[in-house]
Amino acid sequence: MVKVIFNLKEFLTKRDAWAGTFDVALNGTNSRTDCLMTLGEPQKTREATTDKNAKLREFQLELVQLFAAFNGDHKNESYPDKVVENMIVGELVKYTETCFKGFFEGWSEGEDDNGVEALGRPWSRGVRKTTEQKREDDNIGVRTTMD
């Protein structure tokens, strides 16, 4: 391949010579017979189904924290303990669906596409503020003087 690309007289290495060029593959008229045309079905990695009444595992608890930010629950004083207290896998599924639905509904109603905002309830809070507007709100009442 290198020989063809750089128009060399001979191959650079024995490996390069062994590999040859792609001329046969690119310009050939016959299909290759040494390669599979289709792949077989992949084997299942596990046979068990999900137990919706099972307790949450560590990774699932971390997912709840992520979705709590989407949902606005991270602002509550009870976060994160009360959010995940006695939660089971089935409840996690419902919680994540609710969080995603509300997040995307609020996102589609907002104007500022440059940031992700935790929405909190109620889902439709009107137009989201831009980053500049938020900074202005944060600076209201703060005055600096130079002596």
Q: Is residue 52 part of a domain?
A: no
Q: Is residue 82 part of a domain?
A: yes
Q: Are 63 and 22 in a shared domain?
A: no
Contacts of 82 (CB under 8 A, 6+ apart): 76
pLDDT in tens, 75-113: 777 776 777 778 888 888 888 888 888 777 777 776 455
State the total domains in the chain: 2
At 93 the pLDDT is 87
Positive or negative, the Cα torsion across 64, 67, 71, 77? Answer: positive
pLDDT in tens, 5-63: 888 898 888 888 888 677 777 777 877 787 788 888 988 887 777 788 888 888 988 88
At 101 the pLDDT is 84
For 70, the domain range is: 58-138
Q: Is residue 11 part of a domain?
A: yes
Which is nearest to 84 in space by CA: 98, 66, 103, 101? 66
Residue 19, token pair as written in the block: 């590999």
Q: Are 18 and 76 in a shared domain?
A: no
At 142 the pLDDT is 43
Q: Are 23 and 83 in a shared domain?
A: no
- Looking at the DSSP bridge assignments, the partners of residue 55 are 88
CA angle in degrees (0–180, nearest 5) for 49-58-47: 15
Q: Is residue 129 part of a domain?
A: yes
At 123 the pLDDT is 39
**Mean pLDDT score, 116-132:** 47
Positive or negative, the Cα torsion across 50, 56, 58, 62? Answer: positive
